[in-house]
């Protein structure tokens, strides 16, 4: 069961930034920092793609409302990535079945993605953009720090990830009223755009 803490930690981190997890694990494996990373994550093409997508996320994640759209797109991607990374890590060590590791990684990634997406919805109820930048930067640094720490002390890193996940879920529950306001405002904007498009079509007015 020695790889399970790393699977859990990588799943938590994948729910926040899956591309950073793949990139960091691949670099750690390629540089010989750890033997736990499978060769498939160390391939140059995988690292290049993960690096490019990480840069895209680093930008999109700091723009109000764009970050929530990005989260919506990644509702499937992040849990799948967490499950795949977990299964690959288990297959490399052979300490637990791949299917069990994939389930742990995917479920943990889904839970942390829920925390990230819910928190961003709450933050987007604020008109200023600086909170998005601050939270996004903290998430990036947190993922990098926890994954790096997990290479040296996976059990302690898993405990930290579990505490952060539990705290995040509690915060999302506490902020649920703000999240509902964000969802209502977004639905209202969509309805306003739809009505405006219908009026333009009916009157023949050019798009405004």
CA angle 54, 60, 62 (to 5 degrees): 105
pLDDT of residue 207: 58
Please tell me whether residue 168 adopts helix, strand or coil conformation.
Answer: helix
The predicted model scores a pTM of 0.82
Written as one string, the DSSP assignment of 107-155 is: HHHHHHHHHHHHHHHHHTTSS-SHHHHHHHHHHHHHHHHHHHHHHH-HH
Q: Indicate the pLDDT class of residue 188, thresholds 50, 70 and 90.
A: confident
- Tell me, what's the pLDDT at 129? 74
pLDDT at 205: 57
**Taking all residues of the chain, what is their mean pLDDT, rounded to a whole number?**
88
Whether 2 has a pLDDT exceeding 80, the answer reads no
Longest dimension (CA), the chain: 68
**Mean pLDDT value across residues 110-126:** 88
What whole-number distance in Å separates Cα of residue 27 and Cα of residue 15? 19
């Amino acid at each position: 069961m020695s790889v399970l803490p790393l699977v859990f930690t990588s799943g938590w981190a994948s729910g926040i930034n899956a591309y950073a997890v793949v990139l960091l694990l691949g670099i750690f494996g390629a540089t010989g920092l750890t033997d736990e990373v499978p060769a498939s994550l160390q391939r140059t093409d995988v690292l290049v793609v993960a690096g490019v997508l990480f840069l895209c996320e680093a930008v999109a994640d700091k723009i109000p409302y764009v970050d929530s759209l990005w989260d919506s797109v990644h509702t499937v991607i992040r849990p799948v990535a967490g499950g795949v990374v977990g299964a690959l890590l288990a297959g490399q060590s052979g300490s637990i079945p791949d299917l069990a590791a994939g389930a742990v990684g995917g479920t943990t990634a889904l839970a942390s993605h829920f925390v990230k997406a819910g928190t961003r919805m709450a933050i987007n109820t604020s008109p200023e953009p600086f909170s998005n930048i601050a939270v996004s930067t903290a998430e990036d640094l947190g993922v990098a720090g926890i994954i790096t720490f997990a290479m040296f002390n996976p059990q302690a890193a898993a405990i930290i990830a579990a505490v952060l996940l539990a705290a995040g879920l509690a915060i999302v529950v506490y902020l649920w009223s703000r999240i509902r306001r964000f969802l209502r405002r977004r639905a209202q904007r969509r309805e306003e755009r739809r009505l405006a498009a219908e009026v333009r079509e009916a009157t023949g007015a050019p798009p405004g």
